[in-house]
Structure 1
């Protein structure tokens, strides 16, 4: 396991360095000027020059990049240009809500994908299998913002089962927090659950077509035992890899979902940073997302080696 980590860490660090360079460069290529956004469109050239000097935007781009990267490596994310306060404090205020939403969605992905995949792969009734396939296709075809609006209209407005938006801490009011979390987590989880269900279903179908399954069936082993004790462990490693990839989609999708349900997470913060051309906020948040994605992929690889002994032997 230690050798595996030593092999994976350099590539992860390289991805973070390349991502930091691309994030920095792309933000500078986007039309707009933080100095103009702060001073106003009618500001004089002298005022704009003073603002750029104060923010360090008059320095060469390589110097700005190295200054930012050095601050990140040193744990100093710097001050926000437009929103106000330290970037680390702003992220700290919103990260708990985003983590809560992402973990809730990840739990729903597992709870939805597993029974759908098993039902689609093991049922002998073609209408059931076709229904599972049609359901996953429909979920993948509908954008998350449309799904969010439909959930609000049905569950909040029409049926009145859940609040339309808001947030509550799990520590202060667990019951109310779950109610606020249910719809945004479901909206975020549905596309990823459909992807994982399809991959797991295909893996189960291949596993159930193996000769040992026919032998076990002929020996009188129950269908349930064959599926859960023999076929599922074979299909699970590839599905775990797909699930790890979907975590990145969950983190990215949280930006849209938080906006729909007024969820006070990092999604609203990055939106404000983009609108106000707040470079430090956007840079640090995007790099944090990439770091989370790299960490999740590393954990996914570790889980794969644990689930598949052949990888460990190699």
Structure 2
């Protein structure tokens, strides 16, 4: 039986499998046959849930479920650079920290390196988004907690952080959305699961190739297209904030996967705009309710002050003294 674990992965954004897991090409073939293959390419996002302002103890937070992948993002207001490491910079500094929950990873030895890699990729994606010229010599800390990983991890984290930045009130040039697509053995997987990403990573190790002879058919199989594309875009300016590709892709295939991800990004953008609009309406209702309560409190205090002026201090105190019914004889 195949064992799926989480190990070092500096190329893909999803889970990986242990090295030497596929001892023979047949094992890889059996694993590939067990994966559900798409009959047609549907450039649509997974079932998505996004909630802004999930934490009341911080200014900016967001929670996102993208299929079975679950991510929580927290953004704190910019703070001055630490004096020991302060340096004159023309733009603010963005620091992204990614952490896996204890129950979200199977092999703890590989977690620190994965966290570091994801944090670096996340920083590169968010730097073109934030108006860093508005907080010179300040740093913006963004923290991401991975609760569950079922593929499309980096793209989900980018989407979640984009919502958290808006919730925190950080100035941005646009809304950012990201998605993932890949190709393997002629099949295009949009929003690939962790199993597909694992298989792609193993292919790069050479264990997923069919056969080992030097015949023409095997040579053709050895150069089959296999790769993954992560695309983060800002539609208003038609700009790519980040485009990460690994594997072997022909130019026409690269353009095709890019079109799929851009189509998914547009759908996610509409969803995020709707979520943020509802959040603004919700916050407006809460503000109006708070103002109404403050107005009632002000009216009550004004009535008390008016009575105090009319009755005098002694009479006002006597009129508000009530006898305790339990001590009444």
Same fold (TM over 0.5): no
In terms of fraction of residues, the more strand-rich structure is 2
In terms of fraction of residues, the more helix-rich structure is 1
TM-score (norm 2): 0.28
Structure of larger gyration radius: 2
TM-score (norm 1): 0.29
